[in-house]
Structure 1
Amino acid sequence: MEQRVSLITLGVDDLDRARRFYEQGLGWSPAHTADGVVFYQLAGIGLALFGRADLAEDARRPIDGRFSGITIAINQRTEAEVDAVLAQARSAGATILKPAERVFWGGYSGYFADPDGHVWEVAHNPQWTINDDGTLTI
């Protein structure tokens, strides 16, 4: 199987609120909308927002309130960019879970939760390259 991820779908409690967070708060633009779902084109991957109950039904998984153990990362070119993204997320209504700090693996990272509780890491890894098109080279 080819090593790639094509789309990350986040189950959200309120699609309108989620759209405001990502579009007005973080400044993202939707690539496509359909009844009950919104798609965003990211560098080399897509992100979808889909009603949490509808996603649970589609995946045949119960909504049980536990942390899923999955985080989504936004890697940045500099520590200052990490700080700026965390500040923008906080201003848009995110909860800062861990302020940015230097970490054991030699980088700099912090975490926020969006209004639906999805955990995002914002990180700078000096060993990795963020290409001009936004894609990551490990």
Structure 2
Amino acid sequence: MPSRISIVTLGVADLARATAFYEALGWRRRPESQPTISFFDNAGSMLALFEQGALAEDARLRPPSEPAQPGAFRGATYAINCDSDDDVLAVLAAAEAAGATTSKPAERSPFFDGLDGYFLDPDGHAWEVAHNPDLHGLPR
């Protein structure tokens, strides 16, 4: 099996709202997007947004019995590694301006010499924003 992640697909409650949020972050929607799925360029991969029930059906899984409560952990996080601590602060501010909720303000990490913080997109997906200078070779 190849060691790579080509596409991360997030199940969302409202595709138009979620698409508008990621566009407000400045992410570019790919032309392959359709009325039922939005694709966004990422450095070396793609992010896709798909209605949550349809995504569960596609994977032949039961849909969640009820929507996740705000701030509830969903079992996964996604990370953006920045070039500096100042970039972490700027990305978190841009996410808030686009409608994100900060779940962890930027603070010095106990695991590496840099800042990290988290924001939640409108569907509650957790994004870590970090400056981990020890991770080399990540896409920028």
TM-score, normalized by length of structure 1?
0.89
Match of 2:49 in 1: 49
Hey, what's the Cα distance between the residues in 2 that align with 1:62 and 1:34?
22
Letter in 2 for 1:26: L
Equivalent residue runs for 1:1-138 within 5 Å: 1-23=1-23, 25-31=24-30, 32-59=32-59, 60-64=61-65, 65=68, 67-106=73-112, 107-129=114-136, 135=139
Q: CA RMSD in A?
A: 1.5
Deviation of 1:79 after TM superposition, in Å, equals: 0.5
Secondary structure of 2:33's counterpart equals strand
Deviation of 1:11 after TM superposition, in Å, equals: 0.7
Deviation of 1:130 after TM superposition, in Å, equals: 5.5
Deviation of 1:105 after TM superposition, in Å, equals: 1.1
TM-score, normalized by length of structure 2?
0.88
Secondary structure of 1:97's counterpart equals strand
Deviation of 1:63 after TM superposition, in Å, equals: 1.0
Which consecutive unaligned segments of at least 5 residues does structure 2 have? Answer: none
Secondary structure of 1:129's counterpart equals coil
Structure 1 ranges of 4+ moved more than 6 A: none
Hey, what's the Cα distance between the residues in 1 that align with 2:38 and 2:124?
18
8 Å contact kept, 1:18–1:49: yes
Hey, what's the Cα distance between the residues in 2 that align with 1:3 and 1:94?
31
Hey, what's the Cα distance between the residues in 2 that align with 1:43 and 1:119?
19
Deviation of 1:108 after TM superposition, in Å, equals: 1.4
Q: Which has the higher strand share?
A: 1
Hey, what's the Cα distance between the residues in 1 that align with 2:134 and 2:22?
28
Answer with 42-51 or 28-37: which moved more: 28-37
Deviation of 1:62 after TM superposition, in Å, equals: 2.6
Letter in 1 for 2:82: Q
8 Å contact kept, 1:7–1:45: yes
